[in-house]
Amino acid sequence: MHKNQYDVPPQESKEKWFRSHLLAREVELGDLYSLQPNELDLIMAETAEIRSDIDGKEKNIGKYRTAGYFLELAKIIDRRKTLED
C-alpha cells in the first residue's frame, strides 16, 4: 500500500488534542495525517456524534468545537487519500 507523508501545517501542530474513546487514546490534530484509514473512520464517526449533540454543545463548547476541527480535518485527509489511491 502506497502511503504519502504530508507536512503538518504549523497551525495544526499546536497542542490540540481529542480524547478518543473508540481508539482508547488521545489524538493530536497533527496525528490525523498518519492515522490508518480505519482509525480515521473511527475519529470521524466519534466526532460527528459529538457534533450532532446540540444539548452537549451547551454543556461543553470546547469539546464541541474541538470535535468540529477534528471532524473537518479528518474529512479533508480522507478525501485526499481516496483521490491518491
Average model confidence (pLDDT) across the chain:
86
Domain that holds residue 31: 20-84
Q: Is residue 6 part of a domain?
A: no
String of DSSP letters for 29-83: GGGGGG--HHHHHHHHHHHHHHHH-HHHHHH-HHHHHHHHHHHHHHHHHHHHHHH
For the segment 35-67, what is each residue's pLDDT rounded down to a tens digit? 999 999 999 999 999 999 988 888 998 899 999
Q: Is residue 13 part of a domain?
A: no
- The model's confidence at residue 77, banded by pLDDT at 50, 70 and 90, is very high
Q: Is residue 51 part of a domain?
A: yes
Residue with cell 495525517: 33
**Total domain count, the chain:** 1
C-alpha atoms less than 13 angstroms from C-alpha of 36 in its C-beta half-sphere: 4
Q: Is residue 4 part of a domain?
A: no
Q: Is residue 66 part of a domain?
A: yes
Q: What is the mean pLDDT of residues 20-29?
A: 95
Check whether 10 has a pLDDT greater than 80.
no
The whole-number pLDDT of residue 5 equals 52
